[in-house]
Structure formats: structure tokens, C-alpha cells
A = this chain, B = another copy of it.
């Protein structure tokens, strides 16, 4: 018998029928003897409907009152799900964030959880009740309603699991787990049974949008075992954990997955005088324009001048290019170049820590396919390359095959 926190997103509770299916699924676990806490999002479409109402009144709607409005979305779902449990003969109790209570800071629309008082929930569980909690929401210390921002329901699930010392936090989504890469690009992509938090963070930030980064970080910090699984299909999903078990370590693959990001753009400023502070002079104006920079590369050229290259989201390309051209004039740079037809491909795996030669193996695989590498960046458990966007599928498949991800476990 375990204590499980299960989180179901908007698609999983998008209709009354789906809410009833969630009730049946949870009851399966309850009947197996587990204590159940269920976290739900707003029914899909509901948040957009509410935002549209707000924008009719104020296109810039945000802050305290937007949170009062949006939190009604999850409140509808918790009531309906609790009714579905009661209708099936189970006792259930629903809680808004404020009722739990989940205390956050006062940063409306993007609040952070400060503490959770789980006394009521623990008491309900002792009495055999199924507990249903509204995701995405809390209250600040003055009892103002707050929301946690995008992906906040995942965070609610993980934070509750941490507070309750749950055995597992299970995130039900529309995919059945974390894959070695996007199956739409590589049909032979394989579901991973286990992945580490570190790997998951690298996969998530690189575009495998299964879980919100914040929830993964939170789970890692509080050592909450996290499992991603499908709302609609049976299966074990993927367990995200601190480290591979001893049995897994033996057969552990060098690489866990291939992540990629299509929406990249690359900018280069050539022939800048290589003096201290030049990086700040170049990136300062970019950052002031609220453009997030991803990879950064600086080469020293022979003549004492330097070339400076960085990547941004493709949506920010035009603005970044304009900014860089102004900087180039000021710094008397030789030229500015931009390329918004690039993509980033990364291999991720804690295995590369203990194995040399992963990078060169990666470059060899790409070279064998005639793929030219435009930029390289490395971290402890990931190696990323920038290539022309036309090579995305070819590169991902070649790496997936070259690192034996189809068969490894």
C-alpha cells in the first residue's frame, strides 16, 4: 500500500466523460489499497475561455484579479471529479489551493509555493477519503488568490507529493512516457523505463515538452519519484528518479535520448576588437530587449579581433539582428551575419560522464551523413550541435541509430 499523488492535465479532464474515466482510473488504484490524492487542471479550453473574457475588459489583464478569474477553472474540475467519486460510492473531498492550504508568495500569475499545510488532506486519507486538489493555485499570506503560472498543476502535484512524503507523483498526460526522441521524427523512438532528473531537465529544456521544467526541478530538489504516464492507455510510463538503480546501472546506455529544437536562429558579429567587456557590450542590449540567449560562442581570430556567435529563439531573430547591427556600428565591427534556418540537436545522458569519446562519436556519425556542424556546446551530460535545419530529421535519426537507442534499455 502506497500514498500516490496523481495529476491529470486539461486534456485528460476535457469533458465530463473524461472526468468519469479519470475517476474510474483512480478508483482502480484506490481498490488496490493505495491512498489517493488527485490533482487536476482546468478542463481543456476553459482557461482560454476565461482569458478571452478578461481580455474583452482589459487586453492587458493580469495581476490579482486575473488569478481570481482563472482559478475558477480548476475549481470546476475538482467539484465534478469529487462528484464522480461520490456517485461511484467512494467518499471524496475537493480542495481549492486556498483551502488546502497552499501558501505562495504574492507574485500574481507566476507565484511560487512557500509552504503546504497538509493537515486536512492527511486527515481525509486516514478516513479513507479520496482527496481532489485544484492544481495551479494557492493563496498568499494575506489570503489573496494566486496562480503558479504555466505548468503550475505539475508543480502542485510534486509539491503535494513532497509535503505528504508520497511514494510517487504520477503525472498523467497525452503521451505514455518519455521517449528516446520525438517519435514523429524517428518512428523507432523507444519509451524509456527510467531517466534521471538531470537528463529529464536537459530533455525538457531542449524541446521534449512532456513535463514542465519547474516541476522536474521541484521533484529533484525534494527527491520525489516522478512518473509520466498516459491518461488514455495502460502502461508503466517513465519513472524519473535521482539515479538509476544498481541493476540498471550495469546495462545503462551511454545516451538516454536525442533532443532537438527547431525554432533556433543564429547571429554572428565578426571582427570585434578582443577587449575585456566585449561580450557584455554585445549581449547587454540583447538582454535589455528581453531576448533570451541560448548558446554563446566566442572565437579568437588571428588578427587580435574576435568573432562572437550566439543563438536565440527564431521569433526574436529580427529584433536581435537589428540590435546587433547597432552594436556593430558602435564597436566598428567588420560585419554582422544572421541565420534563422538552423536547428539544435543534442544528445543527453548521464552515461557520458564516465565515458570518453562520446563527442567525437557524435561528430563522426554526423560527418558520415555529410552534415556540417555550425556550432557546438557541451555540458556534463549533454552535447548540442547547431546544424542547417534541412538536416534535422537526418541528424536525429542517424544519432538515434548510431547510439543504439532502438534496442538499449
Which residues of A are at the interface with B, using a C-beta cutoff of 8 A? 16, 19-20, 50, 53-54, 56-58, 61, 64-66, 68-69, 71-72, 75-76, 78-80, 82-84, 86-87, 92-94, 96, 98-99, 143-145
Contacts and interface: CB of A to CB of B under 8 A. Distances in A.
Contacts of A84: 57-58
B87 A80 contact: no
A65 B53 contact: no
Contacts of A71: 75
A57 B20 contact: yes
Taking chain A's interface residues, is the majority helix, strand, or loop, or is none over half, making it mixed?
A: helix
A93 B96 CA distance: 20
A79 B69 contact: yes
Given A68-B78, A76-B72, A87 B57 contact: yes
Contacts of A68: 75, 78-79, 82, 94, 96
A69 B68 CA distance: 15
Given A16-B53, A72-B76, A98-B99, 19 more contacts: A50-B76, A53-B76, A54-B80, A57-B87, A58-B87, A64-B94, A65-B80, A65-B82, A65-B83, A65-B86, A65-B94, A68-B75, A68-B82, A68-B94, A69-B80, A69-B83, A72-B79, A75-B75, A99-B143
Nearest to A94: B68
A82 B82 CA distance: 30
A336 to B, nearest CB: 42
A79 B54 contact: yes
A56 B79 CA distance: 13
A83 B99 contact: no
Contacts of A20: 57
A66 B53 contact: no
